[in-house]
Structure 1
């Protein structure tokens, strides 16, 4: 990795540190109930697997991913597919959540308010659509056209 890329990565990690702290607190709270933490360089995140709360799936908070299952590297449906808006192939959950890590590292403490203003956890949310696009193609994690 080039020095410039490493500096950008470090800046993104620092910028989203308040969100990461929330994720760490939630992840550590799940450890007594079976959650296990592992560092994922690929996802640029600390992943808590077997996280004991929620309806299933994963949620990202900064550089922390809370996942209810045993392995983040698993297939999942896109938001549009689940909502019946499109018939799409399954995507990889790890890729989807990595897109959110990049979004957090770009917006830092602004991410959660902007994400909620864009519709929260729903097919209408451009952050979710961008994460699905990134998981399907490997490109386009940013939610606005450039």
Structure 2
């Protein structure tokens, strides 16, 4: 895709990217590290990351994506979850401002069906499937 297509994807996901940059900027003020990787701003660590890491598993998270910004509790979590989170970046590019409402609706539907709202969320299942396929391809290439 050319520059105009790339620009449209950034603009379409832009409202969430701005929110991610604001949150990431606050995290940097408290010691987080910010870097760019594959067209995505990544923010990790710092006081906020350490605080989030101490939350109970039901309330916490290791990483989350807002548009073209990935926020992670630390560099290790970022490295482990980068591929998964980049799937979410692509989802933001597809869904734009409708991504977060669609994500929340998917979680709500799973909850109403008696299923786990995170693990059974359509968008999470898609991200986990991409990671599983990537791992399968790596494993097969190592085996020869």
**1:137 and 1:19 mapped to 2: Cα distance?**
28
Residue 15 (structure 2) pairs with residue 9 (structure 1): no
Post-superposition, which runs of at least 4 consecutive aligned residues in structure 1 deviate over 6 A? none
Aligned length: 115
State the partner residue of 1:70: 75
Moved more, 115-124 or 9-18: 115-124
Structure 2's unaligned 5+ residue stretches are 53-59, 109-116, 135-144
State the partner residue of 1:26: 23
State the partner residue of 2:139: none
Q: Cα gap change, 1:56/1:110 in structure 2, threshold over 3 Å: closer, same or farther?
A: closer
Structure 1's unaligned 5+ residue stretches are 75-92, 139-146
Q: TM-score, normalised by structure 2?
A: 0.73
Offset, 1:37: 0.6
Structure 2 matches for 1:13-92, cutoff 5 A? 13-41=10-38, 44-50=39-45, 52-53=48-49, 54=52, 55-71=60-76, 72-74=78-80
RMSD, aligned CA: 1.7
Q: TM-score, normalised by structure 1?
A: 0.72
State the partner residue of 2:57: none
State the partner residue of 2:124: 128
